[in-house]
Amino acid sequence: MADPRCLPAVAASTALALTLVACVSSSSEPDPSETGVKVTTGASVGEETQPEEPTSIPSETVTGPESSEPAETGTEPDASAETSGGGVSEHLTGSPSRYGARPGPVDRRISRMSLRDKARQLVAVAFSGTTAPGRLIRTLHPGGLIYFSDNVQRNAQIRAMSARVQRIARRTGEPLLLMTDQEGGLVTRLPGTSDVPGGAEFGGDARWARRTAKRTGELMDRLGIGVNLAPIADVNTVGNAGVIGSRSFSSDPDVASRLVRAQVCGYHAGGIATTVKHFPGHGSTATDSHASTATITKSRSAWRRTDLPPFASAVRARVDLIMLGHLALPAFDPSGRPATISPQLNRRLLRERLGYEGVVVSDALNMGGITSWGSSRQIAVRAIKSGVDLLLMPPQPAEAVRGVVEAVRDGRLSERRLNASVERVLALKQRLGLYRAAEQLPRC
């Protein structure tokens, strides 16, 4: 049975979102009136993938003059998002960070890491086959691995493979964040789960959605997979014309907000970390970001009414990761850059304005929606500078690591900025019990 505290009133999530982003808009800035979607191309050089909450956020925490984005070259200024990682900030909750202070063991681990080892922790990669990719782990030392359907055959094989990859990773460095996309419905990776419902199939039933998430979380925990790249927080505003479609919980932002919260709570109850995607909202696009960058041409007010509420609801439910889509939102960043490499959409909107302090993960970096914006090295550096913590599936992961290392050495990226992301990633690993500490996943 679902915990009723995880199913807040519909009005609460909308009130939070409207109060929050009303503070984001500046009366002196134009508010584009058009709605819809258009395809953009890259500037340079193209798969996968509780207790009652406050209903408003003090406006003084989210107001202030807009600042221009740092230049692409030169020394990276220290971002205000570079705080001790992992929690939802006091200005969102009205109380100290729910995830707690910076864990001591994380500090000690970071202090022993080389610059290259730090950069490696910010990369999660895919692999081929159904056995542990020992050579890949020993040579690349990634921060995480993602499982796809081709990697998994049966539960016993998955358990053995997960245990094996963690043993190899611990011998050579840090344990791994093991992850997969187990949304239910149209997107399932694990064997024998094709009948698990997802998205619109719940018909707005938050209790059903929570129970399903809890069972899925328990299964993934038994298989050694600690991170689910689900649920979908996109509100399907373009119907069958969009690429999200029935993967979305609803076309109603209030319904979507309730079910997002329910599933975040359910996955946590099942013992795993959870991810909402695809910020700032793939449900408002008809363009497939696997092929090209999509542009959300909504005004600020339209975006905050429709796309924002489920993400705000997830932050209040203490979601562990938020995935950025390769989606441009010119109402907030007129440059047309996708959120993956946009400081305005990532650092300013998601972190400073929404108050999110957990792990920010990119959508897969081998997708056409981002590869047109630069090489693996260039995209890795631009993404981290913008506020991304975890680079998912860069086409050339070793080159991505080299790019980050070189950027720190030549001053384009500060080591303080790098450390902030490493800290968030390692803090998540600690909450998952990967450092022999008691699990500290949020409960709601």
Per-residue pLDDT of 122-140, as tens digits, reads 999 999 999 999 999 999 9
- Determine the Cα–Cα distance for residues 151 and 144; give it in Å rounded to an integer: 15
pLDDT band at 80, cuts 50/70/90? very low
pLDDT in tens, 191-228: 999 999 999 999 999 999 999 999 999 999 999 999 99
Q: Residue 92 belongs to what domain range? A: 4-22+34-51+76-431
pLDDT at 107: 87
Query: Which pLDDT score, from 0 to 100, does residue 292 have?
Result: 82
**DSSP annotation of 74:** S
Closest Cα partner for 313 from 283, 356, 363? 356
Mean pLDDT, to the nearest integer, of 32-50? 33
Q: Is residue 63 part of a domain?
A: no
What is the Cα–Cα distance from 83 to 404, expressed in whole angstroms? 20
Q: Does the residue 66 lie in any domain?
A: no
Give yes or no for residue 73 having a pLDDT over 90.
no
| 253-270 and 308-316 helices, crossing angle to 10° | 30
Flag whether 304 is in a domain: yes
Query: CA distances (Å), 305 to each of 63, 214, 276, in order?
Result: 19, 29, 18
Number of domains in the chain: 1
Q: How many CA atoms lie within 13 A of 53 on its CB side?
A: 32
Q: What is the mean pLDDT of residues 159-176?
A: 97
pLDDT, tens only, 262-301: 999 999 999 999 999 999 999 988 777 887 888 999 999 9
The pLDDT, as a whole number, for residue 377 is 97
CATH number at residue 277: 3.20.20.300
Q: How far apart are CA 319 and CA 229, in angstroms?
A: 11
Cβ 430 vs Cβ 104: under 8 Å: no
Copy the structure tokens of residue 211.
């129970």
Per the domain annotation, does 294 fall within a domain? yes
Alpha helix stretches (DSSP H) within 36-154: 90-93, 104-112, 115-120, 134-140
User: What local confidence, expressed as pLDDT, does residue 219 receive?
Assistant: 98
pLDDT at residue 438, rounded to an integer: 62
Q: What is the pLDDT of residues 310-351, one digit of tens each?
A: 999 999 999 999 999 999 999 999 999 999 999 999 999 999
Q: What is the pLDDT of residue 81?
A: 38
State yes or no: is 363 an active-site residue: yes
Catalytic residue among 181, 363, 389, 410: 363
Which pTM was predicted? Answer: 0.80
Q: Which residues pair with 279 in a beta bridge?
A: 324
Instruction: Please say if the pLDDT value at position 49 is more than 80.
Output: no
Residue 58 forms part of a structural domain? no
Helix axes 104-112, 415-431, angle to 10 degrees: 130
**Per-residue pLDDT, 222:** 97
- Least confident range from 102-111, 155-164, 410-419: namely 102-111
Tell me whether residue 127 is in a domain: yes
Is 308 domain-assigned?
A: yes
Q: State yes or no: pLDDT of 7 exceeds 90.
A: no
- pLDDT at residue 309 is higher than 80: yes
Does the residue 398 lie in any domain?
yes
